[in-house]
A and B are shown apart, each in its own frame.
Chain A
Amino acid sequence: MEKVTQALVPGSDIVVPPPGPPERYRATVLDEEISFLGLKALLGAADETKAGDRNAGLAAKSARHREAARTILSSLTLRHLYDHPLTDDDGNVDSVMRVNYAIDHAVFAEIESMTVGGLKNHLLRSPGVESARVGKALTGVMAAALAKICDVHELIFLARRISRPTKARTNLGLPGTLSSRLQPNHPTDDLRGISLLLYWGLSVGAGDALLGINPAIDTVENVSGLLRHLDKLRQKTGVPTQICVLSHIKTQLACLERGAPVEILFQSLAGTEKTLTSEFDVTVELLDHGYRTMREKGPLGPDARQFMYFETGQGSEFTYGKHHGIDMTTTEALCYGLARRYDPFMVNNVTGFIGPETHLDNFEMIVSNLQDHFMGKLLGLPMGMAPCFTLHSHITLEGQQMATQMLTAAGANYYMDVALNTDRMLAYFDTSGHDDQTLRELYGKRVTPEYEAWAIERGIFRKEEDGSLARGPSWGNPRLFLSSDAELQGLVATTPALHGFENAGPRPADEVSRRVRLHQAVGREATQSELRVGELREVVDFRVIATEAPSKEAHLHSPHLGARVAAADRAALVPEHRKVQILVSDGLSAEAVHHNAGDLLPVLLDGLNARGIPMGKPILAPNGRVKLAEDVAELVQCELVICLIGERPGGDALASRSLSAYLVYCLREDETRRRAVAFSGNPEVRFEVTVISNIYAGGLPPLEAGGVIAEKVFEVLERRAAGNRLEALLLA
Chain B
Amino acid sequence: MVASATMVRNCVTGRMELSRLTEDVRSVPVFTPLREGRIDEAAVAALLDGWLAGGGLEGKAIFGGGALITGLAAQRENAAALASLLRTRLGDAILVATGDANLESWMAFLGSAARLSRRHPEVEILNLDMGGGTTNLALGIDGDVRRTGCLFVGARHVQVEPGTYRITSVSRYARALLDHLGMARGPGDELSPGDVDVVLSFYVELLEAAVTGHAEAFTTDAARLHLHTDIALEPPAPHVPRIVTLSGGVGALVYDKLRGAPWPSTTLFGDLGIDLAQRILSSDVLARDLSAWVPDHFGRATVFGMMRHSMDISGATVFLSSPDVLPLRDLPILGRLGSDADAGRVETLLRLVRESQAGGCLRIEGAGPSLAALRRLGALLGDVLRAHPLRPEQTLVLFVAENVGKTVGHYVSDWGKSPVKLVVIDEVAVKDARFAQIGRMKDHVVPVWYYGQD
Q: Does A associate with B in a complex?
A: yes
Q: A residues near B, CB below 8 A?
A: 186-193, 424, 484-486, 493-496, 599, 602-603, 606-607, 610-611, 698-701, 703-704, 706-708, 710-711, 714
Which listed residue, B119, B371, B403, touches A602 by the CB 8 Å rule?
Answer: B371
Interface-side segment among B148-156, B161-169, B227-235, B411-419: B411-419
Nearest B residue (CB) for A604: B407
Q: Do residues A711 and B406 form an inter-chain contact, with CB atoms below 8 A?
A: yes
A610 to B19, CA, bound (A): 40
Interface-side segment among B4-12, B37-45, B196-204, B358-366: B4-12
Which listed residue, A493, A698, A707, touches B409 by the CB 8 Å rule?
Answer: A707
A125 to B32, CA, bound (A): 89
Please tell me if B14 contacts chain A, counting CB pairs below 8 Å: yes
- Chain B residues within an 8 Å CB radius of A603: 371, 407
Which listed residue, A486, A493, A707, touches B10 by the CB 8 Å rule?
Answer: A493
- Chain B residues within an 8 Å CB radius of A701: 402-404
A sample of 17 more A-B contacts (CB under 8 A), given A603-B407, A700-B403, A703-B404, is: A186-B11, A188-B11, A190-B19, A424-B11, A484-B119, A486-B119, A495-B12, A607-B410, A700-B317, A703-B371, A706-B407, A707-B319, A707-B409, A707-B410, A708-B317, A708-B406, A708-B407
Nearest CB on B from A572, distance (A): 31
Nearest B residue (CB) for A706: B407
A484 to B119, CA, bound (A): 10
Nearest B residue (CB) for A608: B415
Q: Do residues B19 and A191 form an inter-chain contact, with CB atoms below 8 A?
A: yes
- Chain A residues within an 8 Å CB radius of B406: 704, 707-708, 711
Q: Do residues B118 and A493 form an inter-chain contact, with CB atoms below 8 A?
A: no
A611 to B417, CA, bound (A): 8
Nearest A residue (CB) for B407: A707
Known contacts A599-B371, A710-B415; A698/B14 CB under 8 A: yes
- Chain B residues within an 8 Å CB radius of A710: 410, 415
Interface centre among B9, B115, B369, B409, by most chain A C-beta atoms within 10 angstroms, is B9
Please tell me if B172 contacts chain A, counting CB pairs below 8 Å: no
Q: From residue 390 to 439 of chain B, which have CB atoms closer than 8 A to chain A?
A: 402-411, 414-417, 426
Please tell me if B191 contacts chain A, counting CB pairs below 8 Å: no
Nearest A residue (CB) for B17: A494
Q: Do residues A704 and B405 form an inter-chain contact, with CB atoms below 8 A?
A: yes
Known contacts A486-B115, A703-B404; A496/B11 CB under 8 A: yes
- Chain B residues within an 8 Å CB radius of A192: 19
Please tell me if B441 contacts chain A, counting CB pairs below 8 Å: no
- Chain A residues within an 8 Å CB radius of B369: 703
- Chain A residues within an 8 Å CB radius of B417: 610-611
- Chain B residues within an 8 Å CB radius of A699: 14
Please tell me if B20 contacts chain A, counting CB pairs below 8 Å: yes
Nearest B residue (CB) for A694: B14
Nearest B residue (CB) for A490: B115
Interface centre among B119, B319, B406, B408, by most chain A C-beta atoms within 10 angstroms, is B406
- Chain B residues within an 8 Å CB radius of A711: 406, 410
A628 to B14, CA, bound (A): 30
Nearest CB on A from B111, distance (A): 17
Please tell me if B374 contacts chain A, counting CB pairs below 8 Å: yes
Please tell me if B375 contacts chain A, counting CB pairs below 8 Å: yes
Q: Do residues A190 and B414 form an inter-chain contact, with CB atoms below 8 A?
A: no
Q: Do residues B415 and A606 form an inter-chain contact, with CB atoms below 8 A?
A: yes
A485 to B12, CA, bound (A): 19
- Chain B residues within an 8 Å CB radius of A602: 371
Count of A-B contacts judged by CB separation below 8 Å: 84
**7 contacting pairs across A/B (C-beta < 8 A):** A190-B8, A484-B119, A486-B118, A493-B10, A603-B371, A607-B415, A714-B416
Tell me how many residues of B have a C-beta within 8 Å of chain A: 34
Q: Do residues A188 and B9 form an inter-chain contact, with CB atoms below 8 A?
A: yes
A710 to B402, CA, bound (A): 19
A81 to B13, CA, bound (A): 57
Which listed residue, A188, A485, A606, A698, touches B8 by the CB 8 Å rule?
Answer: A188
A610 to B410, CA, bound (A): 10
Interface centre among B11, B118, B417, by most chain A C-beta atoms within 10 angstroms, is B11
A708 to B404, CA, bound (A): 9
Q: Do residues B317 and A707 form an inter-chain contact, with CB atoms below 8 A?
A: yes
A698 to B406, CA, bound (A): 17
Q: Do residues A606 and B375 form an inter-chain contact, with CB atoms below 8 A?
A: yes
- Chain A residues within an 8 Å CB radius of B415: 606-607, 610-611, 710
A611 to B12, CA, bound (A): 35
Interface centre among B12, B13, B317, by most chain A C-beta atoms within 10 angstroms, is B12
The 0/1 profile, CB within 8 Å of A marked 1, for residues 1-41 of chain B is 00000001111111001011000000000000000000000
- Chain B residues within an 8 Å CB radius of A424: 11
- Chain A residues within an 8 Å CB radius of B19: 190-192
Nearest CB on B from A416, distance (A): 21
A-B pairs, top 8 by smallest CB distance, nearest first, are A707-B407, A707-B406, A610-B415, A187-B11, A486-B119, A707-B410, A704-B404, A188-B11
Q: Do residues A191 and B410 form an inter-chain contact, with CB atoms below 8 A?
A: no
Which listed residue, A193, A495, A704, A706, touches B403 by the CB 8 Å rule?
Answer: A704
Nearest CB on B from A485, distance (A): 8
Known contacts A186-B11, A606-B375, A607-B415; A704/B407 CB under 8 A: yes
Nearest CB on A from B404, distance (A): 5
Nearest CB on A from B89, distance (A): 28
- Chain B residues within an 8 Å CB radius of A189: 8
Which listed residue, B11, B371, B410, touches A494 by the CB 8 Å rule?
Answer: B11
A706 to B403, CA, bound (A): 12
- Chain B residues within an 8 Å CB radius of A706: 407
- Chain A residues within an 8 Å CB radius of B13: 493
A424 to B12, CA, bound (A): 11
- Chain B residues within an 8 Å CB radius of A191: 19-20
Q: Do residues B317 and A703 form an inter-chain contact, with CB atoms below 8 A?
A: no
- Chain B residues within an 8 Å CB radius of A611: 415-417
Nearest A residue (CB) for B402: A701
Q: Do residues B10 and A190 form an inter-chain contact, with CB atoms below 8 A?
A: yes
Nearest B residue (CB) for A425: B11
Interface centre among A189, A495, A603, by most chain B C-beta atoms within 10 angstroms, is A603
Nearest A residue (CB) for B323: A730
A496 to B371, CA, bound (A): 29
- Chain B residues within an 8 Å CB radius of A704: 317, 403-407, 426
A701 to B404, CA, bound (A): 8
Nearest CB on A from B383, distance (A): 15
Nearest B residue (CB) for A193: B11
A398 to B194, CA, bound (A): 82
Known contacts A606-B415, A707-B410, A708-B406; A190/B11 CB under 8 A: yes
A15 to B407, CA, bound (A): 65
- Chain B residues within an 8 Å CB radius of A698: 14
The 0/1 profile, CB within 8 Å of A marked 1, for residues 53-92 of chain B is 0000000000000000000000000000000000000000
Nearest B residue (CB) for A610: B415
Nearest A residue (CB) for B118: A486
- Chain B residues within an 8 Å CB radius of A493: 10, 12-13
Nearest B residue (CB) for A699: B14
A607 to B412, CA, bound (A): 12
Nearest B residue (CB) for A701: B403
Interface centre among A187, A494, A495, by most chain B C-beta atoms within 10 angstroms, is A494
Nearest CB on B from A719, distance (A): 14
- Chain B residues within an 8 Å CB radius of A496: 11-12
Nearest B residue (CB) for A711: B406
Nearest B residue (CB) for A603: B407
A710 to B407, CA, bound (A): 9
Nearest CB on A from B420, distance (A): 15
- Chain A residues within an 8 Å CB radius of B10: 188, 190, 493-494
- Chain B residues within an 8 Å CB radius of A495: 12
Nearest CB on B from A656, distance (A): 15
A374 to B414, CA, bound (A): 65
A191 to B416, CA, bound (A): 39
A691 to B248, CA, bound (A): 50
Nearest CB on B from A510, distance (A): 24
Q: From residue 226 to 268 of chain B, which have CB atoms closer than 8 A to chain A?
A: none
- Chain A residues within an 8 Å CB radius of B414: 610
Nearest A residue (CB) for B424: A707
